[in-house]
């Protein structure tokens, strides 16, 4: 399948990908922090090759998405390809045996935070970009590098909004999350919320004179648990997920200061993973109804300034299986892998799919090593990814 002229060239390409990955790991791009140096680095590589690019930002202009394009040289009706990766990494905890922000190679594995999730993929695309730029491309190749995927996909929606404005709605998107180069074509959504309760503090001996934020939060949690049972009943027939229904989980309840004080503040962290969008809509509707018609009026009767506020931390929509997915078929035709799998982690895939872009999740490395101490990528995975990118080149040129 590999039609790069010699294996020598391939070694050179592979070494470049390792070098770039080493550089990328050196940028400490923990979610929520400034990632602009890494974006500058990527943009420079692509600009030197003649790519055009634009950036989109968060409100403080600290976190940046980059979208760069190597233009088609001989137009055809082939859909553009979007190679997509997130630039942020999860924080590091104690216990690393190497410096997490310095790439270290040991036993054919490259260690470092983000090595597999997912700077490995980004490094491969950047290493391959010079070859795309020299190819007589008959479709555009886009590079989409986002910020803050790990914290509920905050960057991608801003980028995709801009894509819509620029009329880039049709294409094939490969999201290089670590799947060991297997094809992932569906996952549940992941919606995270924090609900804040504000009541009225008072002495515990006169509960009728205060509004206990903790007690109202407890009733709210009960309602969530009740709705969780309803979600089970709503499980679609032939669901491809395990468990087959949408799930709901309470992550934490925080409130109160002492045994004898009525708590005026409490908050609840919770999340739901819908198998279909409608479940999330149903859940939120029922919950908001309970809040506004039952809990809040009761609280306000005693203390009019009481409040319940539901903050959306993130609503990562699910990624739906498409039996005739062009993106999956493209990967299958290049790797020979005809399997289709679902995963339990969330990605940006649903966001691209939502605007009509055929999307697949497929990338080097294993999710087993992601988010862990001593995260690594097996070097051979980078080679597999480079071969896939080479296959894409062959499918994107006349010669």
- Which positions are catalytic? 88, 149
Which residue number, 183 or 231, has a Cβ lying nearer to Zn ion? Answer: 183
Q: Indicate the SS3 state at residue 166.
A: coil
* Shortest Cβ 157–Zn ion spacing (Å): 16
As measured in angstroms, the least distance from the Cβ of 151 to Zn ion is 11
CA neighbor of 95 nearest in space, from 377, 373, 372? 373
Residues with Cβ within 8 Å of 263's Cβ and at least 6 positions away in sequence, in order, are 199, 201, 212, 213, 214, 255, 256, 257
Query: Interface with Zn ion by CB under 5 A: which range of 114-122, 140-148, 220-228, 376-384?
Result: 114-122
Q: Which of 13, 18, 68, 118 binds Zn ion (CB under 5 A)?
A: 118
When asked if residue 117 is in the footprint of Zn ion (CB under 5 A), the reply is: yes
CA distance 347 to 14: 26
Q: In angstroms, give the least distance from the CB of 90 to Zn ion.
A: 8
According to DSSP, the residues that pair with 64 across neighbouring strands are 57
Task: Report yes or no: 172 and 327 within 8 Å, Cβ to Cβ.
Answer: yes
Nearer to Zn ion by Cβ, of 231 and 361: the residue is: 361
Q: Which stretch binds Zn ion (CB under 5 A): 46-54, 121-129, 177-185, 383-391?
A: 177-185
Which range, of 153-161, 172-180, 248-256, 317-325, touches Zn ion by CB under 5 A?
172-180
Buried b (16+ CB within 10 A) or exposed e, 376-398: bbbbebbbbbbbbbbbbbeebbe
Cα(326)–Cα(220) distance, rounded to whole angstroms?
44
CB of 26 to Zn ion, least distance (A): 19
Total site size for Zn ion, rule CB under 5 A: 3
Closer to Zn ion at the Cβ: 177 or 264? 177
What are the two backbone dihedrals, phi and then psi, of residue 171, each rounded to the nearest 5 degrees?
Answer: 175, -175
DSSP 368: G
- Least Å distance, CB 269 to Zn ion, is 21
Site string for Zn ion, 311-330 (x = CB under 5 A): --------------------
367 binds Zn ion (CB under 5 A): no
Residue 196 makes CB contacts below 8 A (sequence gap 6+) with: 265, 266, 267, 307, 308, 309, 310, 311
Q: Which of the stretches 91-99, 169-177, 291-299, 306-314 binds Zn ion when contact is defined by CB under 5 A?
A: 169-177
The residue (of 177 and 381) whose beta carbon lies closer to Zn ion is 177
Evaluate the omega torsion of the peptide bond into residue 243 and state whether it is cis, within 30 degrees of 0.
Answer: yes
- Here the tokens at position 317 are 């929509």
Please check whether residue 82 is in contact with residue 174, taking contact to mean a CB–CB distance below 8 angstroms. Answer: yes
Which residue do the tokens 């309602």 mark? 223
- The distance of closest approach from Cβ of residue 285 to Zn ion in the complex, given in angstroms and rounded to an integer, is 31
The smaller minimum CB distance to Zn ion, of residues 89 and 168, is found at 89
Q: Tell me which H or E stretch contains 57.
A: strand 52-57
> Which region among 100-108, 110-118, 179-187, 256-264 touches Zn ion (by CB under 5 A)?
110-118
* Residue nearer to Zn ion on the CB measure, 91 or 356: 91
Pick between residue 334 and residue 349 the one whose CB is nearest to Zn ion: 349
| Measured CA angle at 136 (ends 132, 137), to 5 deg | 65
Q: Does 34 bind Zn ion (CB under 5 A)?
A: no
In the complex, minimum distance from the CB of residue 179 to Zn ion, in angstroms, rounded to a whole number: 10
Smallest Cα–Cα separation from 56: which of 69, 46, 43, 65? 65
CB of 82 within 8 A of CB of 146? no
Positions touching Zn ion (CB under 5 A) are: 117-118, 177
């Amino acid at each position: 399948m590999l039609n790069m002229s010699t294996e020598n060239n391939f070694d050179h390409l592979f070494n470049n990908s390792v070098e770039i990955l080493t550089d990328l790991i050196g940028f400490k791009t923990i979610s929520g922090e400034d990632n602009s140096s890494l974006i500058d680095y990527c943009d420079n590589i692509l600009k030197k090759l003649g790519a055009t690019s634009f950036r989109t930002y968060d409100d403080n202009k600290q976190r940046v998405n980059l979208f760069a394009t190597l233009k088609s040289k001989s137009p055809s009706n082939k859909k553009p390809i979007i190679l997509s990766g997130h630039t942020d990494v999860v924080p590091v905890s104690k216990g690393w045996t190497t410096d997490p922000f310095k790439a270290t190679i040991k036993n054919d594995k490259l260690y470092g935070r983000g090595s597999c999730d997912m700077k490995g993929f980004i490094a491969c695309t950047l290493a391959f970009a010079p070859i795309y730029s020299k190819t007589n491309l008959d479709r555009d190749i886009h590079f989409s590098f986002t910020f803050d995927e790990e914290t509920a996909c905050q960057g991608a929606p801003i980028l995709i909004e801009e894509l819509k404005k620029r009329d880039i709605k049709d294409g094939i998107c490969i999201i290089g999350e670590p799947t060991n180069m297997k094809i992932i074509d569906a996952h549940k959504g992941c919606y995270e919320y924090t609900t804040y309760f504000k009541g009225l503090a008072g002495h515990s001996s006169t509960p009728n004179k205060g509004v206990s934020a903790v007690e109202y939060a407890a009733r709210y949690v009960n309602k969530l648990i009740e709705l969780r049972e309803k979600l089970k009943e709503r499980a679609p027939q032939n669901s491809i997920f395990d468990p087959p229904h949408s799930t709901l989980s309470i992550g934490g309840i925080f409130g109160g200061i002492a045994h004898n004080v009525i708590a005026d503040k409490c908050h609840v962290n919770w999340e739901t993973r819908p198998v279909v969008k409608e479940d999330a809509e149903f859940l939120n509707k029922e919950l908001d109804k309970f809040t506004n018609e039952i809990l809040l009026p009761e609280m306000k009767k005693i203390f009019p300034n009481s409040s319940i506020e539901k903050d959306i931390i993130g609503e990562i929509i699910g990624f739906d299986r498409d039996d005739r997915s062009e993106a999956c078929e493209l990967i299958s035709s290049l790797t020979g892998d005809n399997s289709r799998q679902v995963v339990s982690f969330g990605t940006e895939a649903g966001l691209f799919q939502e605007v009509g872009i055929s999307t697949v999740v497929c990338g080097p490395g294993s999710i087993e090593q992601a988010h862990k101490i001593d995260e690594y990528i097996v070097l051979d995975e980078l080679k597999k990814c480079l071969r896939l990118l080479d296959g894409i080149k062959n499918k994107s040129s006349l010669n």
